[in-house]
Amino acid sequence: MSAGRIAMALFIGFLAVAPFALSEFYVTLMNYIGLATLVTLGLVLLTGVAGLMSFGQQVFVGFGAYATGVLTVQYGASPWLGLGAGLAFTAVAALGLGLITVRLSGHYLPISTIAWGIAFYFAFGNLELLGRYDGLQGIPAISLFGWNVESGRDAYALIWVATLAALLAAQNLLDSRSGRAIRTLRFRATMAESFGIDTAQMKLIVFLYAALLAALSGWLYAHFLHFVSPGAFNVNIGIEYLFMAVVGGASQVWGAVIGASLLTLLKEWLKDILPRLFAQSGNYEAIVFGLLMLPLLHRARDGLMPLFARLGRGGRNAPAPRPRAGPALPRRAVPAAGEPLLVLAGVQKNFGGLAAVRALSFEMRGGEILGLIGPNGAGKSTAFNLVTGVLPADAGEVHYRGARIDALPARRIARLGIARTFQHVNLIGGMSVLENVAIGAHLRGAKGTLAAMLRLDRDEERRLLHEAASQVERVGLSAHLGDPSASLALGQQRLVEIARALAADPVLLLLDEPAAGLRLQEKRALAALLRGLRAEGTSILLVEHDMDFVMGLVDRLVVMDFGEKIAEGLPREIQANPLVIEAYLGGIE
């Protein structure tokens, strides 16, 4: 049993005993902690994992609370109808706001959430239907199969069951196909798109989940307090939720519990002690909160959770067990050798006044390894980005197996069986080698977020991980399966990139300097691997500087210089071509 599991068991044990051992006051406090944890958990996924930020979660809490408040108080409806209405209303609002912000750069969402926090605070306070600033009173208790959730201890049970369920669902989610996709959003969105992940859609899903958790918290809050008023949903509350996520450690699910507990308790304690110290009322706890955040952000930006986690396992990752074998994933049919595969016709890309790629045309056939070489700055990587849709071409056409692809976004091109590696290693450093490679197999799975939360994806997950593990083995890194990718040497990280591309089951593989940083033995192994792939029918477009490596491997070469193709042909023709020699060695006076 790992330290993490022991800690979790202790925590759940504490939760089970707490209502019998603690006084009414502390049970109430625990209820507030549970309610805050729900909201904070959403922010952990949103901010820490997906790199989106919201200061407006209190608005969704307000939707959840007011929806049920209005329906139960004004219309005498059941609290369960209130829950449904609150979640539905929140979903629509969150989707609307999400749709207009996920495509914009990161700072628009937090600014918008502050603005909408203010807008809704004043709306809550002025709408007759919502009881204006007085709020709604006499919200009934929830009843569940004859159990009336009346007392603080009853509410405790409901709140913590909901909170634990949400925590487990979130943990399950992160450890799944969708979870890996979500974990790419913050640092590696370009890479994710290149493996078919619709990053905007993933962001929207996370945003929606966070909003729904907040609405659930609001529903519980309203029926636990029997009262709602705008004061509970002002802008400062939204800021405090975010502080909780930061304190706990914004990238870890259980950090939500730690952050929510610490700040709720601290606030209670400060409210008790500070006015006595200063003999005058004021919002002193806000000053203290702010002052505590600064050193935390300066010194421990990942929050307190990693410290707890390190205590637990002594700073060492347990090696990941090799996933069990299952039925292998289906594979794509490869085109016949010699069939036209990729055709570039007059492709052009300008960066400002610089033509990085100029009227580039070449053709690639099924089952061949084509080398794309040229001096630094010749435009090779830009050409890669144009083929894979990472950059849009300014002019010209790219055809793949007869279909035009230059107008397609990267994730659509990935669906066609084109996979790539990146010149600058594009792995997620904190994720294990296995998980990084499994991202490559994203399109070979189909299970979504909900299935992941409910663990209905285990069968498919096993097949994906098994596929990923076999690709890791293929590039010779089986010993590092469970290591964080950042702990590997640079050359090995390039091999992980190749394994990830292979996990996508590509028809066309684009490798950007795969041999850079490899030792001689490793280069030979890589060359053997690429020959093996060619024998299986995979076509490879290769950018590389190591001429020994290239000349012994490729079928044909295209040479670029200053964005233009200057030569094309068999390796021995290229080696004798005076234009190529001049490009590499400089002109002979």
Partner 1 sequence: MNSDIFLWLVQDGVVNGAIYALLALALLLVFTVTRVIFVPQGELISFAALSLALLEAGRVPGTIYILVFGGLAAAAIEVVVAWRERAAARLPRIALLYVALPLAVALLVAWAAPRRFDQWIQVLLVLAMVVPLGPIVYRIAYQPLASASVLVLFIVSMAVHYVLGGLSLVFFGGEGLRSSAFSDAKFRLGVVEVTAQSLWVVAASLVLIVALWLLFERSIYGKALRATAMNRVGARLVGIPTVLTGQLSFLLAALIGAVSGVLVSPITTVYYDTGFLIGLKGFVGAILGGMASYPLAALGALVLGLLESFASFWASAYKETIVFTLIVPVLVWLSLRSRHIEEEEEKE
Q: By C-beta, is 73 or 245 nearer to partner 1?
A: 245
Under the binding rule (CB under 8 A), the answer on residue 104 touching partner 1 is: yes
Q: Residue 398 or 580: which CB sits closer to partner 1?
A: 398
Only segment of 47-55, 471-479, 500-508, 575-583 that touches partner 1 (CB under 8 A): 47-55
- Which of 193/460 has CB closer to partner 1? 193
> Which of 92, 297, 337, 576 is the binder for partner 1 (CB under 8 A)?
297
CA dist., res. 19 & res. 12, Å (int): 12
| Start-to-end Cα distance in the chain | 73
Instruction: Candidates 184-192, 214-222, 465-473, 538-546: pick the segment binding partner 1 (CB under 8 A).
Output: 184-192
| Cα(28)–Cα(177) distance, integer angstroms | 38
Query: Of the ranges 24-32, 219-227, 291-299, 490-498, which one interacts with partner 1 (CB under 8 A)?
Result: 291-299
Give the interface segment with partner 1, choosing from 158-166, 208-216, 278-286, 319-327 (CB under 8 A): 278-286
Nearer to partner 1, 114 or 547 (CB): 114
Q: Taking CB under 8 A as the rule, which mask of x and - marks residues 48-67 in contact with partner 1?
A: ---x-x-x------------
Element containing residue 357 per DSSP (H, E): strand 354-365
From candidates 3, 123, 300, 516, binder to partner 1 by CB under 8 A: 123
Going from the C-alpha of 551 to that of each of 362, 527, 557, 585, the distances in angstroms are 19, 11, 9, 18
In the chain, count H helices and then E strands: 24, 14
Give which of 474, 461, 462, 464 is closest to 538, Cα–Cα: 474
Task: Restricting to residues 365-404, name those near partner 1 by CB under 8 A.
Answer: 392
Paired strand residues for 147? 144
Q: Minimum distance from CB of 57 to partner 1 (Å)? A: 13
**In the complex, what is the shortest distance from the CB of residue 431 to partner 1, in angstroms, rounded to a whole number?**
10
**165 binds partner 1 per the rule CB under 8 A:** no
Nearer to partner 1, 103 or 324 (CB): 103
Of 17, 92, 111, 479, which lies in the binding site for partner 1, with binding defined by CB under 8 A? 111
Distance (Å, rounded) from C-alpha 492 to C-alpha 514? 10
The number of residues that bind partner 1 (CB under 8 A) is 60
Site string for partner 1, 220-259 (x = CB under 8 A): ----------------x--x--xx--x-------------
How far CA 398 is from CA of 151, 357, 361, 413, 544, in Å, comes to: 68, 13, 9, 11, 22
Under 8 Å between Cβ of 186 and 53: no
**Residue 108 touches partner 1, criterion: CB under 8 A:** yes
DSSP-assigned letters across all residues of 200-253: HHHHHHHHHHHHHHHHHHHHHHHHHHTEE-GGGGSHHHHHHHHHHHHHH-TT-T
Name which of 202, 315, 221 is nearest 28 in CA terms.
221
Neighbouring-strand partners of residue 148: 143
Residues at the site binding partner 1, with contacts judged by CB under 8 A: 47, 51, 53, 55, 97, 99-101, 103-108, 110-112, 114-116, 118-120, 122-123, 126, 186-190, 193, 199-200, 236, 239, 242-243, 246, 278, 280, 282-287, 289-291, 293-294, 297-298, 301, 392, 428-430, 486
